[in-house]
Structure 1
């Protein structure tokens, strides 16, 4: 029997892309999954329908992650529906949108992650896990320069990772482990598309530097694996293209 059978997972930003693919993989392992979306309910409901058609259990819950009360309701709905909370995957990110304010990247990628952890810790069981999803461009931003078009987002995501990592003692007191999964640019994601639009050729340049870029499904598989991987709390899993970044930090 899978270690996830009967467990409940909340995956933020999971109506599409890596979040949706991760949710489907966790559901296939027997987890009850909560599909979180901000505005696009039909898209989230489609993910739920696909999971249910495959024999899994899922619900879609709308929540603006930059609203702490909305985040608390997200976690509470998971508990009310499935009886508990075992896994919180902090996948949602953004900041390249031009119409959500200059501080949106920091509000979403740092502040909202912190609020989600606070809300999650109210319900996560002992032995539960939090997985934070980030990029190499963000994780290594203090050592490796990134594209100017992405720097604000990268710094806000690094700030989010730092803020969460600083709460390791608090998580340990609750019996909850914390894992970071960091990947390179992902083929087919909104962020990669926006970056390539802002800087034509950016995707190809990263593909050449890394040797290969993960697809959405490949990266989601890495995230799903770390949901139950036997690693110490605070572990950072570097996948896809990390060698290029590590070589530059050593210079």
Structure 2
């Protein structure tokens, strides 16, 4: 079991945003984390990657918690945030070098992986470019390249399709599927539900800081009592409950 979230309660103040959230991700499994804005998806991710401390409950990656071994725990995560976070003064090549040093990667092997990814996302000729030279989609590709260089056991990907062109979306999906086959686990938060329905093995549906539904698309249809519904249609039912 790569990720195990158990009875996670937490938030930004004394009043919890998350209320006893529990789910897990097996090796080689892609889980879609979905829900309305404010459902608790981003807060859940922040607790998993260690940016927030839980009031109660535990998060384990490969059996380790962040309190037991913070450095090893964080090295197990490849995180792609919704908004690209790059250093204006560093070139693409320097971002890759920094990632290699920060994670203690073997340089030749890491650059072999990086060159494959750069070619895949059509960035090979952009190594000397600075972030200000990139479009939002290209910045997102840089974040993807840096995350996949790490070859972690758990990928956490927040809204990965925003800003990407159709070719890049296709290539990212293929990359995720390849790493799944090699045993990596993926938690993906997204509002692009058609893509999520097509590629995710299971789903965690959050609502008001709690798990509202969980399981395969068939499990969700049973929970929502919508036997033929798409994920978009079930999401619409959830929105109707809130009066959107």
Normalising TM by the smaller chain, what interval? 0.3 to 0.5
TM-score by length of 2: 0.35
Instruction: Give the TM-score normalised by structure 1.
Output: 0.34
More helix by percentage:
1
Indicate the structure whose relative CO is greater, using CA pairs within 8 Å and at least 6 residues apart. 2
